[in-house]
């Protein structure tokens, strides 16, 4: 059996968690392959809203094993907070039973959070992600498999704290790391996760050999990729398809499908260029923010909003090769008189349909729009009823009003990617799947 991938196709916050939640029941393993607790996945089922940062979204499927993969940087203290919230909700303790931490993943320590707090340019989440990845690249970071060896060598601990404090000095942070505090923190990790830290690459490979289904889930979106995104306003890891199997510890030949997740409009959090951005002080931009509840899951910061940017989406498709597109939050556009889609840029007087390489160039791009008729606003209950009808009658997108379906068809045509599912509300039932597609689960 193959591995399938779910990736963000924009600047993150696209609704990946819901898509993963829908696919997880057919998967025996859900694997996060990059990022850390700078990500935020929200899953809504009934009256319960679950916000996740490091635990894979497949956690809601009790028969699905969970892996924090080789390519991640993991904050063990934030992970404990998530696990405690999960326990309070379900009384399940998945760690060491169906949730496993890769021994090759890097540890986010208090030092990394302190260092990250000094950022004033990129607009990071301040969670220590970048500094942890930097230590990894410089080959001075601590992986979970390294903890025991570090604890047993006080000279090594002393040298690590000297390096950490010098770096905190360099960015004007006055707090200090002591050898005693570092050793205590590392020992706590071993005590808290004694049966959870494993060679997960071998576990996943064995599952594949046994014919099991693997779901690989990304954290941030395509345009935040360290190599392909709007550098330097990006995350610190490779968020794309190319890293999905590598960050999980398996080879790419296992992959069958790669799903890109995009909102029916565009948002981003933090700094950086955003060609189709709209004002949050009125008009469609404010409408998207308010109706779509556009606040970061991790930071709580208001998200910047704008019309769907097809240039950026097609660029993401170029280096990810999506086999199917999931369009989320189409319902949010309900009530707008007209809906626009950015189909090109005016770049210093020249019309272009590609995404420039530098942020300065992207910032000079002015969007070129095509305009479509809007459609009325509907209640959550009306959207769910529409989605239920699409499943019960087996009619897929034919359940949508003509003007709604037109937007879906236009996105599919402009992107060149088959739209396999459309989200029309936060609830897990509020999705309409393409007939015969991978998300087509008919109601009984």
Q: So which residues are the catalytic ones?
A: 13, 41
Give strand pairing partners of 175. none
* Nearby residues of 283 by Cβ (< 8 Å), 6 or more positions away: none
Q: Find the DSSP H helices in 238-373.
A: 241-244, 283-291, 310-320, 359-363
CA atoms within 13 A on the CB side of 371: 3
> For residues 321 and 354, is the Cβ–Cβ distance under 8 A?
no
Please calculate the CA angle 392-398-401 and round it to the nearest 5 degrees: 115
Quote the tokens at residue 399: 């359940």
Q: Which two tokens stand for residue 12?
A: 């993150």
Per DSSP, the three-state class of 180 is helix
The three-class DSSP label of residue 115 is helix
Where do the DSSP E strands lie in 73-229? 73-74, 99-102, 106-107, 197-198, 214-221
Query: Which position has the token pair 């995404």?
Result: 355
- Coil, strand or helix: which one is 287? helix
Structure tokens at 100: 């496993």
How many CB atoms are closer than 10 A to CB 185? 17
CA angle (136, 7, 332) in 5-degree steps: 130
Distance CA(269)–CA(369), nearest Å, equals 23
| Partners of residue 263 on adjacent β-strands | 328
Q: Is 348 exposed, middle or buried (0-12, 13-18, 19+ CB in 10 A)?
A: exposed
Angle at CA of residue 10, ends 8 and 11, nearest 5°: 100
């Amino acid at each position: 059996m193959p591995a399938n991938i779910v990736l963000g196709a924009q600047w993150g916050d696209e609704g990946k968690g819901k898509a993963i939640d829908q696919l997880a029941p057919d998967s025996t393993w859900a694997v996060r392959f990059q990022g850390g607790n700078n990500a935020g996945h929200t899953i809504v089922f009934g009256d319960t809203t679950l916000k996740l940062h490091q635990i894979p979204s497949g956690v809601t499927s009790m028969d699905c094993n969970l892996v924090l993969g080789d390519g991640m940087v993991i904050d063990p203290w934030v992970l404990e907070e998530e696990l405690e919230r999960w326990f309070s909700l379900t009384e399940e303790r998945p760690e060491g039973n169906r949730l496993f931490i890769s021994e090759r993943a890097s540890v986010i320590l208090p030092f990394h959070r302190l260092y990250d707090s000094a950022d004033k340019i990129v607009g990071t989440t301040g969670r220590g992600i970048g500094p942890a990845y930097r230590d990894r690249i410089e080959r001075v970071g601590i992986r979970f498999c390294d903890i025991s060896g570090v604890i047993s060598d006080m000279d090594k601990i002393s040298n690590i704290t000297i390096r950490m404090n010098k770096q905190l000095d360099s960015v004007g942070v006055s707090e200090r790391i002591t050898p005693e505090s570092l050793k205590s923190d590392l020992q706590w990790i071993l005590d808290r996760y004694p049966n959870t830290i494993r060679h997960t690459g071998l576990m996943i490979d064995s599952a594949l050999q046994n014919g099991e289904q693997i779901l690989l889930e990304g954290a941030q979106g395509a345009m935040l990729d360290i190599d392909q995104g709007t550098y330097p306003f990006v995350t610190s890891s490779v968020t794309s398809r190319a890293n999905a199997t590598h960050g999980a510890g398996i080879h790419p030949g296992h992959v069958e499908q790669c799903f890109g997740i995009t909102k029916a409009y565009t948002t981003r959090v933090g700094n950086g260029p955003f060609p189709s951005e709209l004002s949050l002080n009125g008009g469609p931009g404010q409408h998207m923010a308010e109706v779509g509840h556009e606040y970061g899951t991790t930071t709580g910061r208001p998200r910047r909003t704008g019309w769907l940017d097809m240039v950026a989406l097609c660029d993401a498709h170029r280096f990810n090769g999506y086999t199917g597109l999931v369009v989320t939050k189409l319902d949010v556009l309900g009530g707008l008189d007209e809906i626009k889609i950015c189909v090109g840029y005016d770049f210093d007087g020249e019309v272009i349909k590609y995404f420039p390489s530098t942020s300065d160039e992207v910032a000079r791009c002015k969007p070129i729009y095509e305009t479509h008729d809007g459609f009325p606003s509907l209640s959550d209950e009306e959207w769910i009823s529409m989605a239920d009808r699409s499943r019960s009658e087996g009619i897929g997108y034919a359940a949508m009003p003509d003007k709604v379906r037109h937007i879906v068809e236009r996105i599919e045509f402009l992107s060149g990617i088959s739209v396999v599912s459309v989200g029309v509300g936060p609830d897990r039932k509020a999705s309409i799947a393409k007939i015969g597609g991978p998300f087509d689960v008919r109601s009984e």
